[in-house]
């Protein structure tokens, strides 16, 4: 039996979720299989069997984190009810989610994986940063009116919105200064309206 043949096993799913909770608290960059396995009630051998190797586990954890990110994006899509909500409202909705205290673990993991993807562009981290940018830009495009989505101005507007959200998120994680960043986001939203 190979790691591929166990991809949908209940034990693999259970251990992936436990490992995900672990990396949300402890990070992923310096993750070692022994402490992780011990913390989640498994063994390094079982993890290697189920995920192929450490890189396989990292890829599975990054996919799991991306699933949470995509769930947020799907929630934003659902609020549009088929009608574009506009970049201003999208920025408000996204910032509200990003700034929530209970998402800090996921967002620290996201930042860690994003940076690692830039530093180590091959292997387990490959394309994480680019995929994230593409995911967010696609959702922001859906928030714009269809006739305007392809204009250079619309592309620039959603790129600016993403850059501001990402910068505010990094600043929030670094400083915790929610009040200052809420004001900055509100100012950006007023420009977008």
In angstroms, the CA 139 to CA 77 distance is: 7
Q: Are 60 and 16 in contact (CB under 8 A)?
A: yes
Q: Left (φ > 0), alpha (ψ -120 to 50) or beta: where does 45 sit? A: alpha
Residue 79 has pLDDT above 50, yes or no: yes
Q: What pTM did the predictor assign?
A: 0.80
Domain that holds residue 130: 4-192
Over residues 50-74, mean pLDDT: 87
Domain count, the chain: 1
Structure tokens at 146: 């269809």
Over residues 65-76, mean pLDDT: 79
Over residues 150-161, mean pLDDT: 95
Q: Give me the percent of the chain exceeding a pLDDT of 70.
A: 94
Structure tokens at 152: 């250079």
Q: Is 135 helix (H, G, I), strand (E, B) or coil?
A: helix
Longest dimension (CA), the chain: 57
Q: Is 85 helix (H, G, I), strand (E, B) or coil?
A: coil
What pLDDT score was predicted for residue 80? 61
Q: What mean pLDDT is reported for the chain?
A: 89
Q: Where do the H-state alpha helices sit in 32-103?
A: 33-39, 44-51, 54-79, 87-99
Q: Are 61 and 33 in contact (CB under 8 A)?
A: no
Q: Give me the percent of the chain exceeding a pLDDT of 90.
A: 55
Residue 150 has pLDDT above 50, yes or no: yes
Question: What is the domain-level CATH number for residue 22?
Answer: 1.10.357.10
Phi, psi of 41 (to 5 degrees): 75, 40
């Amino acid at each position: 039996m190979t790691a591929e043949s166990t991809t949908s096993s209940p034990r693999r799913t259970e251990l992936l979720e436990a490992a995900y909770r672990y990396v949300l608290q402890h990070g992923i960059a310096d993750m070692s299989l022994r402490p992780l396995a011990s913390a989640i009630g498994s063994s390094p051998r079982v993890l290697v069997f189920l995920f192929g190797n450490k890189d396989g586990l990292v890829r599975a954890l990054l996919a799991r984190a991306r699933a949470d990110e995509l769930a947020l994006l799907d929630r934003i899509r659902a609020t549009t009810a088929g009608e574009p909500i506009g970049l201003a409202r999208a920025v408000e909705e996204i910032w509200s989610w990003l700034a929530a205290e209970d998402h800090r673990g996921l967002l620290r993991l996201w930042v860690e994986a994003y940076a690692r993807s830039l530093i180590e562009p091959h292997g387990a981290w490959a394309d994480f940063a680019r995929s994230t940018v593409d995911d967010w830009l696609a959702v922001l495009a859906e928030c714009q009116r269809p006739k305007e989505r392809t204009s250079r101005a619309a592309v620039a507007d959603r790129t600016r919105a993403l850059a501001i959200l990402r910068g505010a998120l990094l600043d929030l994680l670094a400083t915790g200064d929610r009040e200052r960043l809420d004001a900055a986001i509100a100012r950006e939203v007023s420009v977008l309206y």
